[in-house]
Structure 1
Amino acid sequence: MRRPLVMGNWKLNGSKAMVTELLNGLNAELKGVEGVDVAVAPPVMYLAQAEQLLADSAIKLGTQNVDTHNSGAFTGDISAEMLKDFGATHIIIGHSERREYHQESDEFVAQKFAFLKENGLTPVLCIGESDAQNEAGETLAVCARQLDAVIQSQGVEALNDAVIAYEPIWAIGTGKAATAQQAQDIHAAIRKHIASYSEDVASKVVIQYGGSVKAGNAAELFAMPDIDGALVGGAALDAAGFAAIAKAAAEAKKA
């Protein structure tokens, strides 16, 4: 049985005061909530603060990127060992903003995926199509290509204990979102593609939805059989709103 994961991607947002207020709020809001894993991914300079605030919490700590080296002359990069040193476990890679603004290729994202697995961390692999690709009917082809960069270089079993986040780029930060049924159809197609390599891996892998997920649409999304939680952007910066999304995932699991 897959356990949903609701993860907050804070992106380039935060301050010491904000981190304290948000995480204290989440600790209070989510106390006693069961049946869902919850994680937050702050900017790396707030990891130490977040680690302290989450010391007695079930909330998992993650972050938004990683390099493919653990040490060396790589100015400005962050290693897997450094992330582990601060208690981070779930690391976002392949986000469309990294692919676009930093020209990260499918192959480079696959290298990051392998590096995280080698270091005992959980990759949260983002896949998804642009508005133009969606309009052209290329959604599944794009997602399959991004997944296959990992599968064909590392084997489908590499997806075990990893997370896939399907994020249609046209729905990220735009206020637009796929309907629950549209999201389900793509999630089912992604799972079917993985099943073409291994039905066992496909049945177990967590596939989140991301793209303007809010408290108002979370329950409908999570009621779908192939949607295993969410990767949340803007709504993750509000404790009550983010907690409501996590609670919706927990309720859907019970149902």
Structure 2
Amino acid sequence: MRTPLIAGNWKMNNTIPEAVVLAQDICNNFERDWASEVDVLVCPPALDIKPVKTVFEFDRVKVQVGAQNVYWEESGAFTGELSCGMLASAGCSAVIVGHSERRNLFGETNEDVNRKAKAVLAARMTPIVCVGESLFVREAGEAVEYVCSQVEAALAGIDEVEARSCVIAYEPVWAIGTGRTATPEQAEEICAAIRGVLARRYGSDTAEAVRILYGGSVNIGNIELLMAQPDIDGGLVGGASLDARGFLSLVRACVR
């Protein structure tokens, strides 16, 4: 049985004081027995990672902290970038790689995503590998093929043991921040296809061990229907993660 994961992507929101307040609000409303039922992760902006981690540690709340991006080199003349070692030392346990905003706004390629995923694994953190199609691709009837090709590219050179440490997040680009959501059936079709890629590459046992998240306007109105799908193991949550009580309502919905 795969443990559900709710991961909050705060994107470019919250100054350090604001991030601390949000983290404290999460702590104040987090029910301790949830920790045995669902994994919870928040990914703040880089400057907020350490103070947010400190709040969770001080209050002894089992919420993990991750990063929204990383560079694959260990060090060097890469102005503005952060390495896996830097993020790990700040307390990160996971890193989002290949988010559609990184691909579309900053030109990240499948090869870049693969390099980042390998670097995150080498640093003993979890890569949350994002894949997803545009509205154009979906309307052309090519969504399954397109997303599966992204998964194949992201996992190139990653072995079976490493694959078990990965999380795949399916985020239809047309549903991110738009209020539109893939139907549970649409989301399940793609997530099942992703699990099929994992099975072909690594075998059924590994495929069944890897968590696949849905991301794209996840909210309290759709989380239970999404979680009822056999191949959806949680959510990569954007805007809804910026309100502690709203975010934790999604966590509560995953408690069996």
Shorter-normalised TM range:
over 0.9
Query: What is the percent sequence identity of the aligned residues?
Result: 41
Unaligned runs of 5+ in 2: none
* 1:30 to partner: Cα distance: 1.7
SS at match of 2:212: strand
Residue 216 of structure 2 corresponds to which residue in structure 1?
211
Residue 77 of structure 1 corresponds to which residue in structure 2?
81
**Do the aligned partners of 1:171 and 1:211 also contact (CA within 8 Å) in 2?**
yes
TM-score by length of 2: 0.95
TM-score by length of 1: 0.95
* 1:149 to partner: Cα distance: 1.2
Superposed CA offset, 1:34-59 (max 9, x none): 31000000000111211211112200
**Do the aligned partners of 2:152 and 2:197 also contact (CA within 8 Å) in 1?**
no
SS at match of 1:152: coil
Task: Provide the rounded CA distance (Å) in 2 between the counterparts of 1:131 and 1:157.
Answer: 34
Task: Provide the rounded CA distance (Å) in 2 between the counterparts of 1:101 and 1:150.
Answer: 19
**Do the aligned partners of 2:67 and 2:95 also contact (CA within 8 Å) in 1?**
yes
Residue 45 of structure 1 corresponds to which residue in structure 2?
47
* 1:84 to partner: Cα distance: 0.8
**Do the aligned partners of 1:151 and 1:158 also contact (CA within 8 Å) in 2?**
no
1:133 and 2:137 equivalent? yes
Please, which moves more after superposition, 190-199 or 200-209?
Answer: 190-199
Unaligned runs of 5+ in 1: none
Superposed CA offset, 1:75-94 (max 9, x none): 10001111111110110000
Amino acid paired to 1:196: R
* 1:156 to partner: Cα distance: 4.7
* 1:157 to partner: Cα distance: 4.3
1:223 and 2:225 equivalent? no
Q: How many correspondences in the alignment?
A: 251
**Do the aligned partners of 1:166 and 1:210 also contact (CA within 8 Å) in 2?**
yes
SS at match of 2:133: coil
Task: Provide the rounded CA distance (Å) in 2 between the counterparts of 1:105 and 1:203.
Answer: 27
Task: Provide the rounded CA distance (Å) in 2 between the counterparts of 1:78 and 1:133.
Answer: 32
- Alignment equivalent of 1:95, drawn from 99, 116, 127: 99
Q: Map of 1:133-152 to 2, 5 A cutoff?
A: 133-152=137-156
Structure 1 stretches of at least 4 aligned residues deviating more than 4 Å after TM superposition: none
Superposed CA offset, 1:175-231 (max 9, x none): 000111221122112112221222121111000000000111111111111110000
Q: Map of 1:175-214 to 2, 5 A cutoff?
A: 175-197=179-201, 198-214=203-219
Amino acid paired to 2:247: F
Amino acid paired to 2:23: L
Task: Provide the rounded CA distance (Å) in 2 between the counterparts of 1:176 and 1:37.
Answer: 26
SS at match of 2:65: strand
**Do the aligned partners of 2:10 and 2:42 also contact (CA within 8 Å) in 1?**
yes
SS at match of 2:23: helix
Please, which moves more after superposition, 167-176 or 217-226?
Answer: 217-226
